[in-house]
Amino acid sequence: MEKSAHIEHEHYDAEASKVGMWLFIFTELLLFGGLFIIYSVYRFMNPDAFHLAAEELDTFIGALNTVLLLISSMTIAMATTSLQKNNKLHTLLLSTVTVILGLVFLVNKYFEWGIKFSHGIWPGSPHMMETMSQGEILFFGLYFIMTGLHALHIIIGLVIIAVAMVRVNKGTVHANRAALLENAGLYWHLVDVIWIFLFPLFYLIT
C-alpha cells in the first residue's frame, strides 16, 4: 500500500494470479476432502442407517439445484469468453445470470433446510435424539455440515463474482486484465464440482 503510493509498479502477472487461484483451489479440495473421508468412514460403519436417512432427502430439489449450478457454471464461463472478446455488456449480463442462479440455489437450500427443521431434524434436536439411531444422527450431522459449508462457499463465490462485475463495469477488469473474473469463474467451478460430489453422496445413493 505504502509502496504503491510511491513507486508505480506496473506489475501485473496474469499467470501468477491464476497459479495462485489453482493453489487455493487445492486447499479448498483438501478442506472438503477431510469431510469426504469422515463421510466414507461413517457410511462404511453404518450402511443401513445411512440408507434409511437418505430416503428423507428430497431428490427433486437436489436435482434441481444440480441443474441450476451446472447452468450457472456455463454462464460464468461464457461471461469470461465475452470479456476476452471485450464485450462488456454480455459479460455483465451473463455474470448477472450466474449470480441469480446462485441465489435461487440458496433459496432452494433455505426451503430444504426449513422443511427438515419443521420435521424436527436439526443437530441435537430432541426428535433426533429420541427416535433416530446413531448412524442416522451422523448422517444428518454430516448433511448439515457439508451442505452448510458448501452454501457458505456459494456465498463467497457470489461475492467474488459481484466484486469482479463492479470492476468490469468500472473498466479496471477488461480483456487484457481479465484475471479477476477468470479467477472468480474458477472458484465458481470449484463450488460446482464439490456439489456434483455432494449430490449423489447424500441424495442418490440410498
Among 108, 110, 80, which Cα is nearest to 94's? 80
User: For residue 118, which amino acid is it?
Assistant: S
Question: Would you count residue 63 as binding other proteins (CB under 8 A)?
Answer: no
Whole-angstrom distance, CA of residue 60 vs CA of residue 58? 5
Residues between 122 and 181 that touch other proteins (CB under 8 A)? 123-124, 133-135, 137-138, 141-142, 144-145, 149
Q: Total binding residues for other proteins by CB under 8 A?
A: 45
SS3 49: helix
Binding-site string for other proteins from residue 19 to residue 58, where x marks contact by CB under 8 A and - marks none: xx--xx-xxx-xxxxxx-xx--xx--xx------------
Nine-digit cell string for 157: 463465490
- Give how far Cα 167 sits from Cα of 10, 73, 159, 164, Å: 18, 20, 12, 5
Residues of the shown chain interacting with other proteins in the complex, contacts defined by CB under 8 A:
1-10, 13, 15-17, 19-20, 23-24, 26-28, 30-35, 37-38, 41-42, 45-46, 123-124, 133-135, 137-138, 141-142, 144-145, 149
